[in-house]
């Protein structure tokens, strides 16, 4: 049954503090002999609302850095969940949200689900002429003030700009999620997009690899393997000395699919995110990965939010009326 690990669903901090759930384990489920890690159950507004490893990491970033800040500032594509998540978590912490978007305008931006949700939580949009990420991030930098809580592109902490202790803390927020990998699992399969969630998994496995013999990562976009290995080294994880074999295959680099492709897949009642997990699941099905012997586990980093689930929690419903 679809569910959330949050017992109380509200943005109101008088009712629930989201950071109290950072260390709660999301469950694992067995479907037809295959294990699934359900990070999509980390859903403060209920299953179908903003969810997953990215949501946890963003809550950690804001909970640690909100002191003295008046607003959240971030820039991303109109298709990026970074827009909606920044506004939702910002609202929980009582912060205004300023979002930089490009190649769009007020008359058309609400056609996109993530800006629509962000507006429902009070986000203010600022527009530039182009949607290229470097231009968006330059504008974020230009507008940053001492009271700005900047959500970096990809919802991360750049290890070249932050102290190793901060980057380690960022990944600690999700590293312990490896604790409930079942003993019978020897093969762990993880989607690899921005690789921030994968970094936390690697940190957890470097401390206790359970019975994993093979980590198989499936690339969604351009390879970030070199970036990830460098990042892990900064927090004390030598990826050349992991106690298991790490294999990687890129759907993007081999031409199987591009990052922009939407692939809708379903398995035994689980609907997978079409930008991320859906592509992996389709490819793995084609390769006959579903062996049903309880030794394989697929890590669901998050699922696609549904506007109808989020809308009742809007703090500014008039903005999208």
Residues 30 and 175 in one domain: yes
Question: pLDDT tens string for the chain (321 positions)?
Answer: 458 999 999 999 999 999 999 999 999 999 999 999 999 999 999 999 999 999 999 999 999 999 999 999 999 999 899 999 999 999 999 999 999 999 999 999 999 999 999 999 999 999 999 999 999 999 999 999 999 999 999 999 999 999 999 999 999 999 999 999 999 999 999 999 999 999 999 999 999 999 999 999 999 999 999 999 999 999 999 999 999 999 999 999 999 999 889 999 999 999 999 999 999 999 999 988 766 899 999 999 999 999 999 999 999 999 998
Q: 60 lies in a domain?
A: no
Residues 112 and 204 in one domain: no
Query: What's the domain count of the chain?
Result: 2
Residues 230 and 185 in one domain: yes
Q: 58 lies in a domain?
A: no
Residues 240 and 99 in one domain: no
Residues 229 and 292 in one domain: yes
Global pTM? 0.96
Residues 112 and 213 in one domain: no
Last-in-domain residue among 146, 175, 191:
146
Half-sphere exposure of 143 (CA within 13 A, CB side): 22
pLDDT at 13: 98
Q: Which of 152, 13, 2 is nearest to 92 (CA)?
A: 13
Domain that includes residue 30, residue range: 18-52+164-300
Q: How far is CA 14 from CA 8, 172, 312, in A?
A: 11, 26, 18
Q: 178 lies in a domain?
A: yes
Domain of residue 198, CATH code: 3.40.50
Q: 9 lies in a domain?
A: no
Q: 221 lies in a domain?
A: yes
Q: 59 lies in a domain?
A: no
Q: 211 lies in a domain?
A: yes
Residues 169 and 45 in one domain: yes
DSSP notation for 62-119? HHHH-TT--EEEEE--TT-HHHHHHHHHHHHTT-EEEEEEES--HHHHTTSHHHHHHH
What stretches of 177-318 adopt beta strand conformation (E)?
Answer: 187-192, 214-219, 245-250, 266-267, 270-271, 296-300
Residues 108 and 203 in one domain: no
Residues 139 and 264 in one domain: no
Residues 272 and 169 in one domain: yes
> Length of the chain in residues, anyone?
321
Question: How many degrees, rounded to 5, is the angle at CA 138 between CA 134 and CA 139?
Answer: 120
Residues 43 and 186 in one domain: yes
Domain of residue 103, CATH code: 3.40.50.1100
CA 88 from centroid of its chain's CA atoms: 14
What stretches of 213-265 adopt beta strand conformation (E)?
Answer: 214-219, 245-250
pLDDT at 292: 81
Residues 203 and 126 in one domain: no
For the record, the structure tokens of 11 come out as 């943005």
Q: 313 lies in a domain?
A: no
pLDDT at 1: 41
């Amino acid at each position: 049954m679809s569910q959330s690990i949050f017992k109380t669903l509200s943005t109101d901090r008088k009712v629930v503090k989201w950071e109290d759930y950072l260390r709660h384990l999301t469950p694992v489920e067995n479907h037809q002999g295959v294990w699934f890690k359900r990070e999509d159950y980390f859903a403060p507004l209920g299953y179908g609302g903003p969810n997953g490893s990215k949501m946890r990491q963003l809550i950690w970033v804001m909970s640690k850095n909100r002191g003295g800040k008046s607003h959240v500032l971030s820039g991303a594509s109109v298709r990026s969940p970074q827009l909606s998540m920044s506004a939702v978590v910002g609202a929980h912490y009582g912060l205004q949200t300023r979002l930089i978007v490009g190649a769009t305008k007020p008359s058309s931006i609400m056609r996109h689900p993530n800006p629509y949700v962000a507006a429902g939580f009070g986000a203010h949009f600022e527009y530039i002429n182009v949607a290229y990420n470097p231009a968006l991030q330059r504008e974020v930098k230009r507008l940053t003030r001492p009271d700005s809580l900047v959500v970096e592109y990809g919802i991360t902490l750049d290890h070249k700009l932050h102290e190793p202790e901060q980057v380690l803390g960022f990944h600690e927020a999700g590293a312990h999620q490896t604790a409930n990998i079942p003993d019978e699992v020897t093969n762990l399969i993880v989607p690899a997009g921005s690789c921030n969630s994968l970094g936390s998994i690697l940190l957890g496995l470097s401390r206790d690899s359970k019975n994993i013999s093979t980590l198989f990562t499936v690339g969604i976009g351009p390879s970030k393997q070199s970036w990830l290995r460098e990042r892990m080294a900064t927090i004390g994880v030598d990826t050349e000395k992991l106690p298991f074999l790490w294999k990687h295959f890129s759907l993007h680099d081999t031409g199987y699919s591009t990052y922009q492709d939407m692939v809708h897949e379903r398995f035994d009642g689980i609907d997978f995110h079409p930008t991320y997990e859906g592509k992996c699941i389709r490819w793995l099905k084609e390769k006959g990965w579903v062996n049903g012997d309880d030794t394989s586990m697929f890590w669901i980093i998050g699922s696609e939010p549904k506007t109808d689930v989020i809308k009742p929690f809007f703090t500014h419903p008039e903005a999208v009326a």
